[in-house]
Amino acid sequence: MKIFETHAHYDDEAFREDREALFDEMFANDIDTIINVGASFAGCEQSVALADSHEKIYAAVGIHPEDVEELTEARMAWLKKTASENQKVLAIGEIGLDYHYPEPAKEIQQQWFRRQLNLAADIKKPVIIHSREACQDTLACMRAEHAEQIGGVIHCYSYSKEAAQEFLKMGFYFGFGGVVTFKNAKKAVEAVEAIPIEKILLETDCPYMAPEPNRGKRNYSGYLPYVAERIAQIKQMTAQEVIDITNANARKLFGFSAVQD
């Protein structure tokens, strides 16, 4: 089995020059499937366009916490309609809370996070959650909206192994990418140790967060073997086992058998 990339941003300007060449290379080599994840509203539209025009690319649509001030009722209706009607849209995301910067205000982020969780529950799609420096409020919003009945992934998981247990209680998966390969990634390594391999997904968040030995370069899904290798070391298994299990995990979470049939 090849790698299922669960979180990429190929709509990003960083890929404008060579996007199609990269797709050809990746699908010929290590990559099986890619989910291109919306963050801004324009990014959602572009993610859907990429999914519609490439057999092995799927989309998630949702508004990132840094962009929630773009949201309107009309745009919420578009997200709902698109995610309901387009079979290649597999999830609502990326949605969540990010308190790294003072804006948007925490209350506004929480309001739109809960609205988008509710939307996902309505249409029975899983969520892709972005959470930075906002662990307790993320958990509180998820509990309030019964996220255990929605399902999804905490992407780029950055919290403690103890916090991971709280997300695990809701049945959530955890996305790991380049950070786990960094020399100072003690928290990420401890989280990978503590989380069952059956709840781990591979992701890049490209063009950001390239793994060692390419840290600082433009990231892309072709670097995911480095992430699989590092998780394999931590879990004392082979990289191929990590790839096979995480691929099966992604297919299970994103309802893949239904898409394929």
Give the H or E element holding residue 112.
Answer: helix 106-123
How far is the C-alpha of 31 from the C-alpha of 33, rounded, in Å?
6
**CATH 3.20.20.140 describes domain 3-260:** yes
Reported pTM: 0.97
| Residues 31/60, Cβ–Cβ less than 8 Å | no
Per-residue pLDDT, 256? 81
What does the block give as tokens for 11?
């709509």
The one-character DSSP state at 132 is E
Sequence-ordered list of residues with C-beta below 8 angstroms from that of 85, at least 6 positions apart, any chain? none
- Residue 112, classified by CB atoms within 10 Å of its CB into exposed (0-12), middle (13-18) or buried (19+), is buried
Domain ranges across the chain? 3-260
pLDDT in tens, 178-220: 999 999 999 999 999 999 999 999 999 999 999 999 999 999 9
Look over the chain and give the mean of its residue pLDDT values, rounded to a whole number. Answer: 97
